[in-house]
Amino acid sequence: MNDIKRPVPRSDEYDTREFWAASKEKELRYQQCKNCNTVVFYPRRHCTGCTDGKLTWKKSEGKGAVYTFSIVRQSYHPFFRNLVPYVVAWIDLDEGPRLLSNVIDVAPEEVSIGQRVELTWEEHDELNIPLFKPA
């Protein structure tokens, strides 16, 4: 590949900084409400179920299934242009959160809804990006 780097999120945002700090240690974290037990993802200050502000951080084992996906065949960003075709997928983690990521290490045509996947990491200086590969 060339020297073009993936755009990465800011790691100092109030709501997400703990998530990205954990990613540096290769831990995939999500939140759960202490009041009503609702699983919360993406990170935020309040529960999406009862709106309480008492959220705890939990560690995911990084295993799940493809909920749905799309194969990207054209991209205008220089980093992603070098990857086409690639898969963008909603992943349902076994613990309950659903997150958007990429499925890698497999031909895009071999990805399917319901396919079991497991976490892998793309390493960067300030944080790591959670990606998924076939389990």
Kindly tell me if the per-residue pLDDT of 1 is higher than 70.
no
CB under 8 Å to 123, separation ≥6 — which residues? none
Residue 109 DSSP SS3: helix
Tens of pLDDT along 6-64? 999 999 999 999 999 999 999 999 999 999 999 999 999 999 999 998 999 999 999 99
What is the structure's pLDDT at 5? 87
Name residue 71's beta-bridge partners: 87
In this structure, the strands spanning 55-60 and 63-72 are: unpaired
Residue 12 DSSP SS3: coil
Tens of pLDDT along 62-100? 999 999 999 999 999 999 999 999 999 999 999 999 999
Write phi, then psi, for 129 (nearest 5 degrees). Answer: -100, 125
Residue type, 7: P
Token look-up 């389990």 returns 135
What is the structure's pLDDT at 133? 98
**Residue 23 DSSP code:** H
Name residue 122's beta-bridge partners: 129
Token look-up 């749905």 returns 68
What is the structure's pLDDT at 102? 98
